[in-house]
Amino acid sequence: MYMYIETSLPRRQGDKAYFISPRYDAAPNGKCFKFWYHMYGRHIGKLNIYVKAGPALGAMVWNETGNQGNFWLHGKAPVKISTRFQVGNQRD
């Protein structure tokens, strides 16, 4: 799955972006959700990654806040769940 969210103009401070992955098979022995992220600038907010097994988001498995520099970083979120699941971020 590929996703790119641009946060420069015309975006404004306080705007939010949301994503949800396709459904994945259960991972009772654990899996690693790997992704790249770029959080640069003085008004950068936060990125939270959650596991979703039902209608609501479940446990947070990864998060980052604020300016992380002007380069792409590799994120890894551990997932251990006994049912089919999705990965997404929180809607405030």
CA neighbours within 13 Å on the CB side: how many for 87?
22
Reported as a single tens digit per residue, the pLDDT across 48-67 is 999 999 888 788 999 999 99
Quote the pLDDT of residue 10: 80
Q: Has residue 31 got a pLDDT over 70? A: yes
Evaluate whether 3 touches 11 at the Cβ level (below 8 Å): no
Rounded mean pLDDT, 18-32: 91
Q: What residues are paired with 81 via a beta bridge?
A: 27
The pairing of strands 86-88 and 73-81 is unpaired
Evaluate whether 68 touches 40 at the Cβ level (below 8 Å): yes
Evaluate whether 67 touches 40 at the Cβ level (below 8 Å): yes
